[in-house]
Amino acid sequence: MEDWQPSLDIVRMRDVRPSDEQTLLQWRNRPEVSKYMYTSRLITQEEHAQWFPVAIADVNRRYWIIRFDETDVGLVSLYNIDTDNRRAHWAFYLCCENYQGKGIGAFVELWVLDHVFNCLAVNKLCCEVLAFNTSVINMHKRFGFHEEGRFRRHIHRGEDYCDVCCFGILREEWQRMRPEVLPKLQRIANHLRR
């Protein structure tokens, strides 16, 4: 693995702490976040209070706060961790539009891919994306994810349904792809440092 680690230089992750409970509820209920989630309705304080302690105690899930410029800016989740089959799913969001579209998500993706394949010895990483979220779909493809399927009319939104695209990447695919991704991230890092 190369010495340069842009995800550790630009974007940092820290474990979710009990003190993050209310922040996560606020973030999750923001329209610019919830529109890309499976559940877009307002999450109540009671629902969140029941979900949060169970989620952070579950050994088949991991959560990290995304930090950029010394500020908490989003959440990464690793879920459905299957140690028998060495497989997991992941998702992330940035807490507001001020942080979206800057390249932060690319550093998050690099960190997650390196973490699951190098630290957790996962063989396959999967994710699901609402079909209209083309910027995240394109990012996953640039990192070597392959579309493995589509759940048609899977999520109800307003008066309509939307498809969900299913992606996966294998450990050896990431090992081949990583050297191609790093120079592109170096350019983004240079821009973010300005």
pLDDT for 145-193, tens place per residue? 999 999 999 999 888 999 999 999 999 999 999 999 998 888 777 777 6
For residue 44, CA distances in Å to 22, 91, 123 come to: 11, 21, 36
**pLDDT for position 193:** 64
Give me the torsion for CA of 100, 101, 104, 107, rounded to 10°: 130
For the chain, the structural domain boundaries read: 6-192
| Domain 6-192 falls under CATH 3.40.630.30 | yes
Q: Cβ contacts of residue 56 below 8 Å, gap of 6+? A: 16, 18, 63
Helix (H, G, I), strand (E, B) or coil at 44: coil
User: Do β-strands 160-170 and 146-157 pair in parallel, antiparallel, or remain unpaired?
Assistant: antiparallel
